[in-house]
Structure 1
Amino acid sequence: MPGVPSQVPPPGALPPSSAAALQLSAPAVVPGDPVSGQGYGCPPESPVALSVGGTPAGTTVADSNGAFVSTFHMQTLTEGRYQVTADCGPVLLAAPLDVVLVSSINPATSTLTVIVFFLLIGVFIYVRRLLNPPARQVEGK
């Protein structure tokens, strides 16, 4: 539109905060699984320090566009929700990460457990009847 000045940021200025983001490869992982973080909105060529729940997780360098990718492992994390942060100077990016403990039950194992349970109950009742036979009544004399 004529007469409307354009909103071009000066050279070297950071993009608006809505243009900065940190995305994780998965929203939930099991302890020790690798997690990949991809971010953008950092100053070009700036160092990026990653941390999980305040514990350092790695470092990388943003590219000429201010984007970065890094993979990290956190062997010592227990189950819970953690904040993953990427600090690249004046920009602090964050994303939540859930560490979960996955368990599964094998249907064959649970069926076997039920069968063994009832088998043991039957053996208990049978043995109890053998050791304590019911009293017999003697017919009248």
Structure 2
Amino acid sequence: MSTKAPSTIAKVTGILSGAAAITVIAILGYTTDHGSFAKGAIIGGAAVLIAMIVLWSGVGRSSTASRMASGQADERERHIFREAAADAGLAMFGAGVACAIWALFDAEAIGVAGIVLWTGLLTWGISMIVRLRRG
């Protein structure tokens, strides 16, 4: 795995292709009368693009998040990321089992999926923060 930072051309290509994907998804959403889906794609996609630009711009060049986003994370940071992802996977597995049981009692599928996904995201974020603070 390379630890070199992505080139400027790769960064610009990534941002432009992300913007193109957001545009296509929004157009498809609006043309099929799924306006709220299209708005969500625009808002979520724009948030991701802004986060990419901030992390790649060098605002926090010495922060762990910017080193991970730029591909310059050291072995310790990669280990922390991997362990946090493992924690999230385990939490999502537990939430999936619990939600599968809940689904037997006529739970909404979107609610079940949301709980599993948010469990993973929050567990990953909390685990990253705790592991980074512990040293």
Same fold per superposition (TM over 0.5): no
| Bin of the TM-score, shorter chain as denominator length | under 0.3
Whose strand fraction is larger, Structure 1's or Structure 2's? 1
Q: TM-score, normalised by structure 2?
A: 0.20
Whose helix fraction is larger, Structure 1's or Structure 2's? 2
